Amino acid sequence: MPRITPVDWKVLECIFQKAGFVFERQASSHRTYTKEGVARPIIIPTYNQISPDIIKANMRTAGMSREEYFRLMAECK
C-alpha cells in the first residue's frame, strides 16, 4: 500500500466529494463538508499542500479506509 503524501486541497476536496460529502460553508481558509450519517463534519484547509496528519484525521472522521482513499484519489488526479 502506498504512503499517504501531501496533496493540494482541491484534490482532497474531490476525494471527499466523491465519497459523498457536501460543501457546507467556508470560514477564512477552512472549508467544512458534511455527510448524512457521519457524526462530525470534516474540515479541509485551502492550503497548497495538506499534510498527511490532516488527511488521516479526516479519513478517521469519515470512516474512510486507505483502499477507498487511494481508489478515489486515482479518479481525482
List, for residues 29-50, the tens digit of each pLDDT value. 999 999 999 999 999 999 999 9
Residue 71 lies in a domain: yes
CA 8 to chain centre: 10
Range of the domain at 23: 9-76
Confidence at 77, pLDDT banded by 50, 70, 90: confident
Confidence at 11, pLDDT banded by 50, 70, 90: very high
List, for residues 67-76, the tens digit of each pLDDT value. 999 999 999 9
Rounded CA-CA distance 27/7 in Å is 21
- Name the nearest CA neighbour of 61 among 16, 10, 2: 16
Rounded CA-CA distance 34/12 in Å is 14
Residue 23 lies in a domain: yes
User: How does DSSP classify residue 51?
Assistant: -
Q: What is the pTM (predicted TM-score) of this model?
A: 0.94
Residue 53 lies in a domain: yes
Number of domains in the chain: 1
What is the distance in angstroms between the CA of the first residue and the CA of the last residue of the chain?
Answer: 18
CATH number of the domain enclosing 35: 3.30.920.30
